[in-house]
Amino acid sequence: MIAIIDYGAGNIQSVYKALKFIGADCKVTDNKDEILNADGAILPGVGSFGDAMDTMTKRGIKDTIIEYTKSGKPFLGICLGLQLLFPESEETPGVKGLDIFKGTITRIPNQNRTLKIPHMGWNNISIKQKDGIFKDIEGEPYVYFVHSFYLKAQDKDIVAATTQYGVEIDAAVQKGNIIATQFHPEKSGEVGLKMLKNFVEMVK
Hey, which residues are catalytic here? 79, 184, 186
Among residues 155, 151, 147, 142, the alpha carbon closest in space to that of 118 is found at 147
Q: How far is residue 99's CA from residue 2's CA, in Å, rounded to a whole number?
A: 23
Dihedral sign computed on CA atoms, order 187, 189, 193, 196: negative
Q: What are the beta bridge partners of residue 114?
A: none
Residue 36, classified by CB atoms within 10 Å of its CB into exposed (0-12), middle (13-18) or buried (19+), is middle
For residue 130, the tally of other CB atoms under 10 A from its CB is 11
Residue 26, classified by CB atoms within 10 Å of its CB into exposed (0-12), middle (13-18) or buried (19+), is buried
Among residues 200, 204, 202, 183, the alpha carbon closest in space to that of 192 is found at 183
3 state SS of 76: strand
What b/e string do you get for 174-184 counting C-beta neighbours within 10 Å, with b at 16 or more?
bbebbbbbbbb
